[in-house]
A and B are shown apart, each in its own frame.
Chain A
């Protein structure tokens, strides 16, 4: 399968600081990237959808000013958690989608475990 690299895989930050998570598609052009959040023992909840070069579309209930998404190129999207608080602690996963081998598929990054203390 395609390679989607997410970095960092694990981060601890102090309350009030901001954290940036990167999602890169290494071997294909990702026209669209998705950001998910997963609480322990729960499913993946879509936060937002971003298309290269345009503003992200946020799901209902997700604060766009808190979760800043930038998709500046066909291989990189970033999620910045601003002024993080303990309730933002979670597992964040990106997914990249684009034409590859003639088929449109979505591939996941390895996830980022964020702990806010």
Chain B
């Protein structure tokens, strides 16, 4: 099955700086890579996703890059704000057959220091 590795497990940055979280996956069949933000005691919320036919996607202050050959994908948050503090999960999935099984990384606890 799929195995997703994520690092770092914790990350502290000063407000306004950038944060980068990196993930690798093992299953070359994976073709969809969502990123989730989870605040304490709440459900994971999808913040951005990328499909395997795209190398980069940006949405305001967040961007995701994908290197299919190396099986790497990364989340970039620029101009970080205190409200960005949360746990971020990368995930890998195969879309097909009408369902989506998602394998998560271990998570990165991001702390943005005001």
Contact = CB atoms under 8 A, between A and B. Distances in A.
B102 A34 contact: yes
Contacts of B104: 43-44
A45 to B, nearest CB: 8
A43 B99 contact: no
Given A109-B43, A110-B43, A43 B89 contact: yes
Contacts of B109: 41
Contact of A111 (B43, B89, B105): B43
A31 B98 CA distance: 7
B103 interface: yes
Query: What are the 10 tightest A-B residue pairs by CB atom distance, in nearest-first order?
Result: A32-B99, A108-B43, A97-B100, A106-B100, A43-B106, A110-B43, A97-B99, A43-B107, A43-B104, A44-B104
A27 interface: no
Contacts of A41: 109
A102 interface: no
